[in-house]
Amino acid sequence: MKYTSTRSKNDHIDAAQAIIKGIAADGGLFVPDEIPQIDNAFLMELLSSSYQERASKILSLYLPDYTDAEISHCVQAAYTNKKFDTPAIAPLTKLADGKYILELWHGPTSAFKDMALQLLPQLMSTALQKTKQKNDVVILVATSGDTGKAALEGFCDVPKIKIIVFYPQHGVSHMQRRQMITQKGNNVAVIAIEGNFDDAQTGVKNIFNNKPLNKELHDEGYELSSANSINWGRLLPQIVYYFSAYCELVKDGSIKLAEKVNYSVPTGNFGDILAGYYAKRMGLPINKLVCASNSNNVLTDFFTTGKYDRNREFFKTISPSMDILISSNLERLLYHITGDAAKIKTWMDELNEKGSYTADKQCIAQLQEIFAAGWVDEKQTLTAIKDVYDAYDGYTIDPHTAVAWQAAQNYQQRTGDMTPMVVLSTASPYKFNDSVLTALHADTGNADDFALLDMLQTYNKSSVPAGLASLKIAAILHKKTCTKENMAAEIKDYLKHC
């Protein structure tokens, strides 16, 4: 198996190289040139395996240039009891018959990004050794809140790698900001951008595509790479938990082997749900993938009409990690559906130049067979948190999870499809305590972030994650801000002085 770009047929590279590079030279994203197929025997074997073993088996299908020992080492180093607060790593909670929550927030930063960003640094370090690359890698991250901290946690003090995170100055929650600006480590920089997430992401993409700058950095001993979900090494680990959740359902007798399930996924950059698409294409019995959006409902419109149009109002919502108008990973999906790199390049150029493109009818018909899209407004999101709390014995979900929960309810009502539904829970409620407490009608008064943590603890059964509790006394280490035009200069400045 080799990796190629979504926009041309020029590259045919190994997984290790795709992971080091992050993004293809033509601006496209790396995709596997075939999708491995599994059968029931493969699933049977996974049933009795640990999360780590499941991860090793699935990863090895996509990383033929890594040895089994290398993969196992990476996985064991990533999913440890030191980093994750439950040995299940990604536990599945049953709320009622046919209704399940896949908790992806038991890692060090309390959001699902840890599932991939604990593993990516391991995959990248191994890749650097395998390819004997001399230059250091500089990871650039644009974050809508959760990726930044998860990447910082994953990459801090990893040899031969430096990491620079750009976050929208006013576009992340207090807790998210605090998590980032207190980050320790000798190889980290955290910078606020005067703009929104799309500005940060576009800025980073432009830097990757800036050939003179890349050459200059190369000559100084640096190669740029990405820890955003445009990096294949971010996406791959996410395929695992779709399988793992399925195995748990079979194991506890909720479904029989080969019976289909639905997954509802709170979606921003389309990375999480795309991993579900790979799982389905590999042969995991998935019926529908519900693509759940907040008021930034560009994907709902796309799956309904075939027109992707980012020319619309941008809303700041209570699910900020989904406040995105350009969903990068959709490009990979469209490539796999059409198999036509030239077409993808045209659409992406149109998106870049005029902010919109329209997929052809055949493509959309295929997408609609697999995906059901829906969006949930702010009021419904708050109501969903309260509904779940009241109906399921005080079970507390965060606003992102609430969007996926409500989109799943709406889908079931609209279609009558009562296939067992797994809702992906992407953040701990403690990470968004303000909104969650508002939803539960708590009187928050003037309470600060840490008083809110304690207050939420009186409602919620699970305890405050250690990583959030410790922020109270953590020193603020990063105070820089910059304009989106100045990002390249900031990078050069950091590399000169670090």
Ligand X SMILES: *Cc1c(COP(=O)(O)O)cnc(C)c1O
Active-site residues, by number, are: 113
Under 8 Å CB-to-CB from 174, ≥6 apart: which residues?
A: 434, 449
CA distance 285 to 271: 20
CA distance 153 to 207: 23
By CB under 6 A, tell whether 154 contacts ligand X: no
Q: How far apart are the first and last CA of the chain?
A: 38
Q: Is the dihedral of CA 189, 190, 194, 198 positive or negative?
A: positive
CA distance 6 to 18: 12
By CB under 6 A, tell whether 266 contacts ligand X: yes
Q: Of 74-82, 109-117, 362-370, 440-448, which segment contacts ligand X by CB under 6 A? A: 109-117
Number of residues that bind ligand X (CB under 6 A): 17
Cβ atoms of 30 and 21 closer than 8 Å? yes
And the tokens for 252?
């506890």
Q: Which of 461, 177, 116, 465 is nearest to 321 (CA)?
A: 177
Q: Of 21-29, 58-66, 106-114, 184-192, which segment contacts ligand X by CB under 6 A? A: 106-114
CA distance 228 to 53: 25
* Shortest reach from residue 196's CB to ligand X, in Å: 15
* Shortest reach from residue 427's CB to ligand X, in Å: 4
CA distance 291 to 273: 7
- Which of 247, 408, 427, 468 lies at the binding interface for ligand X (CB under 6 A)? 427
* Shortest reach from residue 12's CB to ligand X, in Å: 27
Cβ atoms of 235 and 333 closer than 8 Å? no
CA distance 211 to 233: 23
Q: Of 46-54, 110-118, 333-341, 405-413, which segment contacts ligand X by CB under 6 A? A: 110-118
Q: Of 16-24, 84-92, 207-215, 266-274, which segment contacts ligand X by CB under 6 A? A: 266-274
And the tokens for 422?
């797994």
Subset of residues 268 to 297 that bind ligand X, contact rule: CB under 6 A: 268-272
Q: Closest CB to ligand X among 182 and 296?
A: 296
- Which of 182, 426, 433, 435 lies at the binding interface for ligand X (CB under 6 A)? 426
By CB under 6 A, tell whether 111 contacts ligand X: yes
Q: Closest CB to ligand X among 233 and 268?
A: 268
Q: Closest CB to ligand X among 125 and 329?
A: 329
Subset of residues 205 to 264 that bind ligand X, contact rule: CB under 6 A: 229
Q: Which residue has the tokens 């690359």?
A: 133
Subset of residues 345 to 404 that bind ligand X, contact rule: CB under 6 A: 400
* Shortest reach from residue 397's CB to ligand X, in Å: 11
Q: Of 111-119, 153-161, 162-170, 244-252, which segment contacts ligand X by CB under 6 A? A: 111-119
Cβ atoms of 103 and 92 closer than 8 Å? yes
Q: Closest CB to ligand X among 262 and 426?
A: 426
By CB under 6 A, tell whether 115 contacts ligand X: no
By CB under 6 A, tell whether 85 contacts ligand X: no
And the tokens for 321?
């990690």
Q: What count of Cα atoms within 13 Å lies in the side-chain half-sphere of residue 355?
A: 8
- Which of 122, 267, 317, 412 lies at the binding interface for ligand X (CB under 6 A)? 267
Question: Residue 372 CA to chain centroid, in angstroms?
Answer: 19
Subset of residues 291 to 350 that bind ligand X, contact rule: CB under 6 A: 321-322
Give the residues lining the site for ligand X (CB under 6 A): 111-113, 146, 229, 266-272, 321-322, 400, 426-427
